[in-house]
Structure 1
Amino acid sequence: MSSRSLVSTLMAVLAAACCAWTPSAAAQSGATALRASYEKLAPGLATSPLGRPMVLTSAETQRSLKGEVYGVLDRPLAKVSAALDKPAHWCEMMMLHLNNRACRLDAANKTLTLSVVRKYDIPVDKAVELSFRGRLVSATPDYFEARLNSGKGPFGTSNYRIALEGIPLENGKSFVHFSYAYDQSAATAAASRSYLATFGRGKVGFTVVGQQSSGEPELVGGMLGLIERNAMRYFLAVDAYSEAPDAFERRLTLWYSGTQKYPRQLDDLSEAEYLKLKQSDRQRQSAARP
């Protein structure tokens, strides 16, 4: 597989699972920490250049990559929790991403497997399958948290860590934090650099890192740009699914309209193409169920 295919597939990856999908003991420390994050970020949320109360960050070390989004959702935490407190719901939510073409649960092996293609128009039989395990840490009126892990990924990646947590706010809103991270090998890093020097040139994320000579903001590129674009896609998936968990067509429309607020980063295909793709995916999965 080419370095372009490798990195494109890596950036499409996100999955969850159902190894121990039952709440653990009260997670008061998590709620307290997230409340502190909200209070710290509140001024930035109110003036976010992203056009909504949201903060997006990314980080890269020699071994790992991480993307995070903090944001306010216009619905109560109870609705967010009810929408995402079961692994089957995570399958539905993650399928909103245009590169995620199938998702299945395996009760016997206690896994959730996501089929990911490097580009949305590639046939599903060319997808990479990724299985994850996870647990629902807390689903109380004051705090929601789900954590998802996979020890081994494709192309030398490993140690995937995925989390979604939330707390209630006033006026029927909630504050959520979505993050994902994984470790990369030396071979993965080298392939990534090759991709970024060729096919990935010109791709940008959301973080402003400087100013161009024209006066326009210079946006982060490279691996951080790729991570930020996918972090945004998944945050928009959480937003759309928690708003319309029982309305398939509506959540498709919500997700697509959300991406179109950021055309430079996320304008990948037309709305008609996206709707057709996802309707086809749903029909195929329905036909495959026993």
Structure 2
Amino acid sequence: MNIKQRRRVFHSDKWFNALVNTCLVIVLIIILYPLLYIVSASVSDPIAVSSGEMLLFPRGFTLEGYKTIFQNEYLWRGYANTIFYTLLGTSINLFVTIPAGYALSKPHFVGRGFFTNLMLVTMFISGGLIPSYLLVTRMGLGNTVWALVLPNAASVYNIIVTKTFFQTSIPDEIEEAAMMDGASYLTRFFTIILPLSKPIIAVMALFYGVGHWNSYFNALLYISDRDKYPLQMVLREILVLQDLSSNPTMQMTGEMAEFLYSQQQLGQVIKYGVMIVATLPLIMVYPFLQKYFVKGVMLGSVKG
């Protein structure tokens, strides 16, 4: 390659890198703007938010929205309940998913194809909402924590990802060497497989944990005791009550109408504050799992 060709390649690479960097900057702005807007709106003057005066940075700094949210006596209880539900549910999910994926990854497992196909069917056909509700309630799980964690004890998709990880990332020679030394299946699983499976365990824990943290529909169906409400149900209740208080069904005048108008404006700020309150714990946890998350997704999804 002569000097002219090298210069041409260099300039083409330079323009290509500039184009890629420009696209990345645009994508970054598109992603960051809604996040910055939500944070700014949650601490801005309600009137500035509802009128559109606040575009990016806070206008009329105030914490009234957060004050209203944290004054709810069930908020902290909902936090505690959600943390408990998330830890318990994720533990059950991992207890089911990791061994299932490991077993299905072994070619000599008897009934491997049958069980795999049987699970795949559930990804396309489900019993439906009413049969699921009848099953959970008739088993006596209604208004208990088990109604939130047992019906979703495993995800077929996550089991398949875990199975693929074991097939592509852990050499069979390691287990064969341990088997030659007399290690049993359980010994090999707990002393060799699990220590080498930290990436996929972190990925599954993050997937399941986010699902449990954001879940509210099962609690809406099965939980009737407000002391057992998860955080998402408490936040939903705050928003619903705020909407009801800011939308009267009859006309009012004077101070009452002014108060209701201010509550309606405050409701806009509360909505953004609720988003921050609900997502902040996950944002704080994710950086500690990011290393395993990226590695686990790449290793577990390259080959089928």
Same fold (TM over 0.5): no
TM-score after normalising by structure 1: 0.27
The structure with the greater share of residues assigned to strand is: 1
The structure with the greater share of residues assigned to helix is: 2
TM-score after normalising by structure 2: 0.26
